[in-house]
Amino acid sequence: MFEKPTSGRSRTARSGNLVKTSRLSRNFLFLAGSNFSVQFLRFLSIAVVARRIGSEFFGAYNYLLLLVTYGAVVVEFGLRNVAIREFAQGRGSRELVLKIVQIRSVLAGLAAILVVGLTHRAFPDGQFFLPSLIFGVSLITNAFLVDFLTVVEEKFFAQAAATVGQAAFIFLGVLGFVHEPSDFVWLAFLFLGGQLLSVAVYFFTSRVWEISKVSNSAVKLRATAIHGLPFLVALLFFTIQASADLLLLGQFRQSEILGDYSAALKIISIPQGLIAAFVVAMQPRIARETVDFGSAKLEALFFQTLRVLWIVLAPTVIGCWLFGDTLVAWVFGSKFPIASHFLKPLSLSFLFSCLSLAPIQALTTSSKTKLLLKLVLGNAVFTLFCISLALFWGRTDLVPWAMVGAQVVLTLSSWSCFPKKTYLVLEDARNLAFPTILMAAPLLLGPSYLPAPLVFALSAGGYLAGLIVVRIWRRPWVAELFGDLRKAT
């Protein structure tokens, strides 16, 4: 007659779990909104730049951005993850922040030399020397980035303000100053200004001056460098593995297709913002659970990550294969005729690279640096070998397919570090089969009979309806209902 009363401890635990879940959802939605704004502004900036400076200069611009990314990894020295771990576990201090800035400042000069040297190697005529120098100087600002403080405290509004402000600054500058290829140097100055703005926002919103001076951390200056070196090597080679195609195309001086290849990569970067937002939201939670790789909490985090990734990845790949030509022509115009040929295999490469994010994130924030180094170094060498082989044969059309094979190997090898959780990769892929069929049906059958906007609307509606049906189908009471019906019949 009477229900058993619920204990106060269980109610408190349940309410705590609800608060954590709602906070995670709120952070993800907030980051997704800000990243959507950033990606939209960058999308507009890239479209304007590509149309105004042409394919050759657009390829050089993206190559310089890639080198700055490598330089940023060198400047970071892997210390961001060390700082996240120390502050998340209550051992951070202002002294640790100052040590990190000192180490980064020394490495900034080396990274600038790296950018200028590789640019001269790819473009020996010297026309991009001054822009490469400005891009190299912009790396000095990375030494003062304290974004790890906002990640630990989950102050994602600071990240939104920094990234949106930087993207808006560059977009407005592109509209005002970049009109023809001779204005290429303005792109470098705009990038430098955006970096300075981002550093200022992170510095003032994180309130570094209010952090305790007393250090509870056992990580000293020399130990910080020792901890940072494995992360530096791992992150650098992971970045090289993820962008080896664009790097080797530049080093092999394939400038005639560098612009088209960059255009295809920019189309892929549109959904990449949503995925980056979710990975950033999950990073501190994964870092707290990496003490035990076999824990149920880590498995739940993996499952949540993969569920969201599949929801974004499935329509991305299908859209690139069915509407790649239209997307490239609509965004970049007629100056990039072969970009759509690269887009289809690159979407598959993007799919497998995203599926490896969860285990790579767990390994990066854990203390298993040797395992991480073996995984990243092996896959980076394999990727460089495959792409170099295609370029030596003169088969530039095989470069994106070499990236697909390399990302498949990375996904399988990264999940092999978690043998009991490998099945999670295909768990939501199976659940998304029905929504994907509903999404693909209008795209395959509709264009011959229906207007394009209606086809897109039916496809998006079918995908959302399929997700709702799958979510309802997985409810326990539905399984019990159909089980009772089967018994009755």
Q: What is the DSSP string of 76-110?
A: HTTHHHHHHHHHHTT---HHHHHHHHHHHHHHHHH
**With 0-12 CB in 10 A as exposed, 13-18 as middle and 19+ as buried, what is 261?**
buried
Residue reference for tokens 């700082």: 83
Cα(47)–Cα(62) distance, rounded to whole angstroms?
Answer: 13
Cα(438)–Cα(66) distance, rounded to whole angstroms?
Answer: 38
Q: What is the DSSP string of 17-55?
A: HHHHHHHHHHHHHHHHHHHHHHHHHHHHHHHHHHHHHHH
Q: What is the DSSP string of 221-255?
A: HHHHHHHHHHHHHHHHHHHHHHTHHHHHHHHTT-H
Cα(73)–Cα(229) distance, rounded to whole angstroms?
Answer: 11
> What are the domain boundaries of the chain?
21-431
DSSP state of 6: P
Helices (DSSP H) in 289-338: which residue ranges? 296-332
Q: What is the pLDDT of residue 4?
A: 44
DSSP state of 210: G
Q: How confident is the model at residue 64 (pLDDT cuts 50, 70, 90)?
A: very high
Burial 460-484 (b: 16+ CB within 10 A, else e): eebbeebbeebeeeeeeeeeeeeee
The more confident residue out of 229 and 261 is 261
- Taking only the tens place, the pLDDT of each residue in 383-441 is 888 888 888 888 888 899 989 888 888 888 888 777 655 444 545 555 556 666 666 66
Cα(282)–Cα(412) distance, rounded to whole angstroms?
Answer: 21
Helices (DSSP H) in 333-392: which residue ranges? 339-355, 357-364, 369-392
- Taking only the tens place, the pLDDT of each residue in 191-221 is 999 999 988 888 888 776 667 665 555 555 5
* Whether pTM exceeds 0.85: no
> Taking a C-beta distance cutoff of 8 angstroms, is the pair 78, 146 a contact?
no
Cα(236)–Cα(142) distance, rounded to whole angstroms?
Answer: 15
The identity of residue 398, as a single letter, is L
Q: How confident is the model at residue 134 (pLDDT cuts 50, 70, 90)?
A: very high
